[in-house]
Amino acid sequence: MPTKKTTVKKTAAKKTGSAKKSVTKSVAKKSTAKKATTKKTATKAGKSSSKSTKAKKAVSKNEKVLVCADGEECFWTTDGQILADLNQLQMALASMDDSVFFYHVNEEKNDFAEWVEAVLMDFECAQDLRKASAPKDARTVVVRHLRTYRI
- 67-112 pLDDT, tens digit per residue, is 999 999 999 999 999 999 999 999 999 999 999 999 999 999 999 9
Last residue of one domain, picked from the residues 62, 83, 101: 62
What does R_g of the chain's alpha carbons equal in angstroms? 32
Query: What integer is the mean pLDDT of 131-144?
Result: 96
CB burial of residue 111 (10 Å; 0-12, 13-18, 19+): middle
Domain residues for 123? 71-150
Residues 24, 50 within the same domain: yes
The most confident of 6-10, 62-66, 134-138, by mean pLDDT: 134-138
Residues 7, 58 within the same domain: yes
Residues 39, 97 within the same domain: no
- 2-59 pLDDT, tens digit per residue, is 544 444 444 444 444 444 444 444 344 444 444 444 444 344 444 433 333 333 334 4
Residues 35, 103 within the same domain: no
What is the pLDDT at residue 35?
Answer: 46
Last residue of one domain, picked from the residues 43, 62, 81: 62
